[in-house]
């Protein structure tokens, strides 16, 4: 944690809040020296107020990749969280601290943000559960960046039932639902993942008896389009800061400056892809409760491997597309044959967040039963 706090109800669920969400009386630092001396927030972010009202105990702020604009979790200013189970590997970004705190058992759940996989990717890297809710489901009031058409606030937890409890605390309109008997799951095929991740996914998927298979031909285009939209929106909000403030980390400053070159034509093309991929995902979900595909295309790289950007950039290929489309997406932890972290990603219809949480609980029990049988 970057700051220890004592807000809310002692004895309630212990919660950590990502540094890009407002805590009254503190600056929204977002892991950056550029905001170290920013004016303190006057009010809590809406989601923080919700968990306090629900009887939770906010015990600290969670570290993050600077300005939520990176995938490794490295942060030279506030420190880099250690991946508790695989310390030689990245904890993932940008909600790195959230995932690490949950995986270490320091908190019951953490509140992260997910613009291009930033809850699901670190959750997968650290072996926890994570949910990107339907776009707009949870209020972003009090979040940095202020404006985004793809960013969502979501929970990370060490178990599927706790993820459900976290959503109930974070979203006053969330009501848990029972799993509908044997759920109807469609297994996505045609993705390009590493052999070890593919093998772990196929083993887990086979235990769930998917109802059918589907393809998402637009997945790769949606990944690229999601990056275009993220770049355009980050440049619009933080481009002037990158030009004027040399205290920004070199990696983040370079990315924002490069993002400023995004053209109107590229944005228009990305929006067209957004429309097409949203319709494609909706069609794939017809007649089923959720889609199933890997969370990451490869195991998280070691810190040494992560020095090469080509080992990091592809990590969000399967998660970022659903930021673009707005569908809720949830990651469950599995492991490869070598014991390394991998994930099952569930994608549901927009608005089906409660059902997705129920499915995650059913799958977690199903996989445990199969392993102990």
By annotation, the residues acting in catalysis are 18, 94, 118
Residue 59: enclosing H or E segment and its boundaries? strand 57-62
Q: Is 6 exposed, middle or buried (0-12, 13-18, 19+ CB in 10 A)?
A: exposed
- CA dist., res. 119 & res. 353, Å (int): 15
**Cα–Cα distances in Å, from 44 out to 113, 115, 181, 219, 238?**
16, 21, 40, 36, 22
Q: What angle do CA 111, 348, 301 make, to 5 degrees?
A: 55
- CA dist., res. 15 & res. 56, Å (int): 7
Bond from prior residue into 94 cis (ω within 30 degrees of 0): yes
- For residue 274, how far is the Cα from the chain centroid? 19
Handedness of CA 287, 289, 293, 296 (dihedral sign): positive
- CA dist., res. 115 & res. 352, Å (int): 19
- CA dist., res. 122 & res. 120, Å (int): 6
Find tokens 């995986």 and name the residue.
Answer: 103
In 3D, which of 67, 112, 115, 121 has the Cα closest to residue 93? 121
Q: Which two tokens stand for residue 7?
A: 């807000």
Whether 330 and 360 have beta carbons less than 8 Å apart is answered as yes
């Amino acid at each position: 944690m970057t700051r220890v706090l004592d807000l809310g109800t002692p004895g309630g669920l212990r919660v950590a809040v990502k540094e890009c969400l407002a805590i009254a009386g503190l600056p929204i630092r977002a892991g950056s020296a550029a905001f170290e001396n920013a004016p303190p927030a006057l009010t809590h972010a809406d989601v923080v107020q919700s968990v306090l009202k629900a009887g939770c105990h906010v015990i600290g702020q969670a570290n993050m990749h600077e300005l939520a604009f990176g995938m490794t979790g490295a942060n030279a200013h506030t420190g880099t969280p250690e991946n508790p189970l695989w310390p030689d590997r990245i904890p993932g970004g940008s909600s790195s601290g959230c995932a690490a705190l949950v995986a270490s058992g320091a908190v019951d759940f953490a509140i992260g943000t997910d613009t291009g996989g930033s809850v699901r990717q670190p959750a997968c890297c650290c072996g926890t559960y994570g949910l990107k809710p339907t776009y707009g489901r949870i209020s972003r009031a009090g979040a940095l960046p202020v404006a985004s058409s793809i960013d969502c606030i979501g929970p990370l937890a060490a178990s599927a039932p706790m993820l459900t409890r976290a959503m109930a605390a974070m979203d006053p309109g969330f009501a848990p639902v029972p799993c509908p008997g044997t759920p109807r799951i469609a297994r996505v095929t045609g993705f390009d993942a590493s052999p070890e991740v593919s093998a772990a996914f196929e083993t887990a998927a086979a235990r769930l008896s998917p109802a059918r298979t589907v393809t998402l031909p637009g997945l790769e285009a949606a990944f690229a389009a999601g990056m275009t939209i993220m770049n355009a929106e980050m440049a619009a909000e933080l481009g002037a800061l990158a030009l004027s403030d040399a205290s920004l980390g070199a990696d983040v400053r370079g990315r924002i400056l490069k993002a400023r070159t995004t053209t109107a034509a590229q944005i228009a093309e990305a929006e067209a892809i957004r429309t097409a991929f949203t319709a494609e995902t909706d069609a794939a979900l017809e007649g089923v409760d959720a889609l199933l595909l890997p969370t990451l295309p490869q195991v998280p790289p070691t810190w040494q491997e992560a020095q090469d950007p080509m080992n990091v950039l592809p990590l969000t290929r399967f998660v970022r597309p659903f930021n673009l489309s707005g569908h809720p997406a949830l990651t469950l932890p599995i492991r490869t044959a070598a014991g390394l972290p991998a994930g099952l990603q569930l994608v549901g219809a927009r608005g089906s967040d409660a059902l997705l949480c129920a499915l995650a609980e059913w799958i977690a029990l199903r996989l445990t039963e199969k392993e102990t049988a």
